[in-house]
Structure 1
């Protein structure tokens, strides 16, 4: 009997950004989402500019901003869980209201030269109520593209990563421009206004929102953190956050030390630009390797790029090293979001995305704090040791626990030997 001819697995199909943006209904949520997520990159700097102006201490300003960031990192995933259960609009409407009131209270207390502890009390709810727009947009892409090719979803996550990078380039510039040309309080007023208007406009787009997953009586609650893979990815994103935080402080200190403080923004912009460029290109490639392999590879490149920063002799060399380091950032984030989407059930996807975003925020706060201490004690070069340590620990965890990044088997999918059957193709697709 003649053996049947083997069925070849089709090559991955390349999906461009044009095809992605022609997805029906995409622009209806992307435009308001951009306005609503821009304040995410304005809040911390707006707080620093206002509190320094009213209280005269960078230490105090940084501490108030850190309270806001920590509250956002820990409460954000809980709002993501509520959005999965009750719908995004049901969470966004009270969130933007609380945020506007909290930011207004913070502005009033700062302008009134109130005690620092009262600023902490206002900063905590201001950070906790920041709408998790980035996670909600990714959840909408998952809902719209669940029946399409995995490559299209990968392109969507690449697009979102580039958008995140762009907002973190534009947001601080916008906050600084408003605060310096009008009044320091105006930066936070603009942040709150964008949050309210963008958040309400985004919430109004109910047709593109993912389905609700209410908890039924007697059913076990679905939690993103119940997945060991999600916990591992959150830990690795914490390492990425330390790179962001330490780079911001260390580049500023290095430029100050060599007598060119005005160049620090350009150097950090090159770092962020490298990440944006890599994100654009990454989303255009039809990847054959699994998402787990890509995650390990991009994270290893991140550690390699960070390892040279401390030894750079001048700002030009530092800008080049920062560019190389930045090229690994977006691919790491894109692949992480791709992986986490496959690791959790439908009722916990927004929460899972929010845990990763929150981990970056925590890492940023920790990285900037530790780098600042090292710089004060040993000089600007010492701050660049923090990215090596943070990213290195993240890579060590990924390598040793990489088996946790394998998506769980789903009902109805059978895996045939030899990779020729359709079931094997489906499982391979789930891996990215």
Structure 2
């Protein structure tokens, strides 16, 4: 007999413990992929700044440096989903090992070309495989969490934990890369990035026991669906493009603002305040036992993000801009966390890594576009014009999400056979 599965406790059942970080980190096997995963994802945050610092040093042009970095970012955004799809079909280890080898070789090639004063077209040519082969460690870690805590309240906690980890990565990574490039050698940042990718990626791939299972051909009755064919994933991609617009627009516009007031050193403080807001909000989101649906939390969080981002262009003082930046950062975390949480219900298990990489790639693509547009606005118009990019990107994305919010509802993909709380076995419906 087939019965529906529910994760809600009955009136007579004991109360489910609060799904905090302590309970999440006690998940069996979690630390075996968390520690190598943290080391392997660190290079992701080091790559762009390391390229900019090295290419600017060898060419003397920030424009050339930004162009090479943008090619890397766009390549990563375009190829990441296909890497995720292969990981779902072949297994993470089968994709990760050759991927880290190609990335390491590509980064070292790009470094050598830059030091040899190669023409810009050669740097572009090397930047394409460098970006295309960036290991998608973050999505792979999220897919492992989904396997471990699927169907439990810990899914939101895991998404929050990963959001905080991402923010910590984007605080530590650029600082490490900058210190190496300025104190050791302009090429040291990329060399360290390649080394961490190789060592961390291999160690992460070695944890075979926690990687999601690959669907065997014997289960042919269960259709293998690409994540991009899921309507809700397409809506989330638009939402994450807007989030990328915030990251890219903030990076350029905060730098321009700090230089316009003659205090370039404030750029790090202002962006650090923005990142701190994201971390604080992310920690809080994971510590709260939410009763509302993730769809509702996504809409509320994104509305707050669009509202706060819309005020950035009008800030004319350091304190006001820092305060708004803090609020923008605090609004990003709920949008990111609940977007990733929705993937668990929208996408079949065999396509989750691909789905996560589509979202990560959307952030990278939105960021690359925002950096370009914001830079043009800052050059051609008034100081602070680049802040129009986060406003425009989030308002357009919010409108799309509101109009298509019905597609974020969890579909009934298959009947389920009860196996206990949090466990479901798909049964193909003829």
Quick check: TM above 0.5?
yes
- The CA distance in 1 between the partners of 2:414 and 2:225, in whole Å, is 17
Structure 1 window deviating more from structure 2 (272-281 vs 309-318): it is 309-318
- 1:3 alignment counterpart: none
Indicate if the aligned counterparts of 2:104 and 2:198 stay in contact, CA closer than 8 A.
Answer: yes
Structure 1 stretches lacking a partner, 5+ long:
1-5, 415-421, 427-432
| 1:12 Cα deviation after fit | 7.2
- 1:254 alignment counterpart: 257
From 58, 68, 71, the equivalent of 1:67 is 71
Are 1:300 and 2:303 an aligned pair? yes
Aligned residues: 410
- 1:40 alignment counterpart: 44
- The CA distance in 2 between the partners of 1:95 and 1:48, in whole Å, is 23
Alpha-carbon spacing, 1:9–1:399, altered in 2? closer, same or farther (3 Å): farther
SS of residue in 2 equivalent to 1:150? coil
- 1:239 alignment counterpart: 242
Are 1:100 and 2:120 an aligned pair? no
SS of residue in 2 equivalent to 1:42? helix
Indicate if the aligned counterparts of 1:215 and 1:221 stay in contact, CA closer than 8 A.
Answer: no
- The CA distance in 1 between the partners of 2:48 and 2:403, in whole Å, is 35
- The CA distance in 2 between the partners of 1:100 and 1:412, in whole Å, is 44
- The CA distance in 2 between the partners of 1:410 and 1:117, in whole Å, is 48
Indicate if the aligned counterparts of 1:46 and 1:175 stay in contact, CA closer than 8 A.
Answer: yes
> Where do residues 324-339 of structure 1 align in structure 2 (5 Å cutoff)?
324-339=327-342
Are 1:134 and 2:156 an aligned pair? no
Are 1:77 and 2:85 an aligned pair? no
Structure 2 stretches lacking a partner, 5+ long:
1-9, 425-430
Alpha-carbon spacing, 1:411–1:365, altered in 2? closer, same or farther (3 Å): same
- 2:59 alignment counterpart: 55
From 357, 366, 369, the equivalent of 1:366 is 369
From 162, 165, 169, the equivalent of 1:163 is 165
Are 1:112 and 2:116 an aligned pair? yes
Are 1:393 and 2:386 an aligned pair? no
| 1:342 Cα deviation after fit | 1.1
- 2:194 alignment counterpart: 192
TM-score (norm 2): 0.92
- 2:6 alignment counterpart: none
Indicate if the aligned counterparts of 1:86 and 1:214 stay in contact, CA closer than 8 A.
Answer: no
SS of residue in 2 equivalent to 1:404? helix
The CA deviation string for residues 154-202 of structure 1, in whole angstroms up to 9 with x for no partner, is 1011000000000001100000000111111110000000000000000
From 350, 355, 369, the equivalent of 1:347 is 350
Indicate if the aligned counterparts of 2:224 and 2:350 stay in contact, CA closer than 8 A.
Answer: no
RMSD over aligned Cα atoms = 2.0
- The CA distance in 1 between the partners of 2:14 and 2:372, in whole Å, is 49
Indicate if the aligned counterparts of 1:300 and 1:395 stay in contact, CA closer than 8 A.
Answer: yes
| 1:213 Cα deviation after fit | 2.3
- 2:267 alignment counterpart: 264
